[in-house]
Amino acid sequence: MAPPLAFVGPLAIIMTVSSVSSSKINRCPLRHKSGVQRPPLVIGHRGASFHLPEHTIPSYRLALEMDADFIEPDLVASKDGILVAVHSVDLNVTTNV
């Protein structure tokens, strides 16, 4: 039987990195069916992966500097149950192997 962490791979785990300030709420509200206004959430998928290599500390920091509300890493469990931040489990995509 696979370790419990092996089932984390297909799921994206969202980590809260900052709270939404009232200035963001007033800056760009969205109206929902209920009539309640909520701000849009800015999510740094793999950090600021357009600007820096994905899943790196500098990429996560830049996403925060760019006012991301969340960082969303792609987590995959290795065979021994260790979580690794990587988008694809195919080594040809992420390395020159």
Would you please indicate which residues are annotated as catalytic (active-site) residues?
Answer: 45, 87
Q: Residue 41's pLDDT is what?
A: 85
For residue 47, name the pLDDT band (cuts at 50, 70, 90). confident
Q: Residue 30's pLDDT is what?
A: 57
User: pLDDT tens across 17-46, in order?
Assistant: 333 343 444 445 555 666 667 778 888 888
User: pLDDT tens across 3-14, in order?
Assistant: 444 443 333 333
Domain definitions of the chain by residue range: 4-90
Q: Which residues pair with 30 in a beta bridge?
A: 38
pTM, whole model, 2 decimals?
A: 0.53
What pairing do the DSSP bridges indicate for beta strands 43-45 and 37-38? Answer: unpaired
| Distance, CA of 46 to CA of 76 (rounded, Å) | 13
For residue 54, name the pLDDT band (cuts at 50, 70, 90). confident
Residue type, 23: S
Are 17 and 64 contacting, i.e. CB atoms less than 8 angstroms apart? yes
Residue 76 has pLDDT above 60, yes or no: yes
